[in-house]
Amino acid sequence: MTQTVLPAKDYDAFRNFLESACGIVLGDNKHYLVTSRLNRLTSEFSFASLSDMLDALQTGRDKQLSERVIDAMTTNETSWFRDGYPFEMLKKSILPELAKKRPRSLRVWSAASSTGQEAYSISMIISEFQKENPGALTGRVEIVGTDISSTVVKQARTGKYDELSMARGLSADRKQKFFTDNGDGGWTVNADIRARCRFTELNLLNKYVLLGKFDIIFCRNVLIYFSSEMKTDILTRMVQVLNPGGLLFLGGSESPTGYCRDFEMARLPEGVVYRLKE
């Protein structure tokens, strides 16, 4: 098998494929990244060269190949309670306000949930809030995690994590409270935390309506990979699945400004969140 860097024409064709398949925009200078991420698949799928594999990809006939290529090109980096402040804000400012309204249900969407740490972190915050505020937020709470990658969705559903993942963002107290030691170097999220969470595959380029309506959306650290048009499209469609006054959490370097006018910035003591305009 030849392991050469992609010729410019193949690279351009691959960029087009990737952007239309999942929205990810590759810069001009990512030939080496693409080559190194895809070479392994070339031999796994028994192609003679990377160019041959890309030709097959263009036909769109091999769904499994497309999925594996998208998997290889997406960054699944995540951690527990990532960046801290969104979860602090949820617990200290947002849930107390919501609880006053005694809602019959609360629905949260972790869009681009990767291996599940974001959704489970939200569920742990709900548990802590309920414990510290007996009788508050007694309605049904559901957290829906979605991701384009079937691999990470499957991993999220297991609720099992190795020591390395456990070391990223989890305090000893939360580890002890919310996880069970499997005795093999792995840990499993406890059933009460998992019970609120469900995970399903969803490409953010596709329709959201089947997910139902949400009170809060976490769409963190994924918009950065998309074009301006795609950011506008995704944020505009998220507006349609948010309940009135719904909240949107974005990653630290992301903002709806310039892409969607339906959100206003709310500065809370713990940081910034975006609220659907009334």
Does 68 sit near ligand SAM (CB under 6 A)?
Answer: no
Q: Pick the piece of the chain touching ligand SAM (CB under 6 A) from 11-19, 144-152, 164-172, 260-268.
A: 144-152
Active site residue 147: yes
Give the Cα separation of 205 and 70 in Å (integer).
13
CB-nearer residue toward ligand SAM: 24 or 137:
24
Q: Does residue 74 belong to the site contacting ligand SAM (CB under 6 A)?
A: yes
Region near ligand SAM per CB under 6 A, out of 45-53, 68-76, 171-179, 190-198: 68-76
> Whose Cβ is closer to ligand SAM: residue 52's or residue 88's?
88
**Catalytic-labelled residue, pool 10, 68, 107, 147:** 147
Between β-strands 186-189 and 197-201, what pairing exists: parallel, antiparallel or unpaired? Answer: unpaired
What residues contact residue 103 under an 8 Å CB cut-off, 6+ apart?
Answer: 137, 139, 215
Number of residues that bind ligand SAM (CB under 6 A): 23
Site string for ligand SAM, 94-133 (x = CB under 6 A): ------------------x-x---x---------------
DSSP 8-state assignment for residue 138: -
Q: For this structure, is 198 an active site residue? A: no
Question: Given the complex with ligand SAM, which of 4 and 75 has the nearer CB atom?
Answer: 75
Contact call for residue 78 and ligand SAM (CB under 6 A): yes
Least separation in angstroms between CB 267 and ligand SAM = 21
DSSP state of 77: -
Spatial contact of 213 and 181, defined as CB atoms under 8 Å apart: no
Q: Which of 238, 231, 250 is nearest to 213 (CA)?
A: 238
Q: How many CA atoms, within 13 angstroms, populate the side-chain half-sphere of residue 276?
A: 19
Write down the H helix ranges in the chain. 8-22, 31-44, 50-59, 63-73, 85-89, 95-100, 117-132, 150-158, 163-166, 172-178, 191-195, 228-240
221 contacts ligand SAM (rule: CB under 6 A)? yes
Residues recognised as catalytic: 37, 147
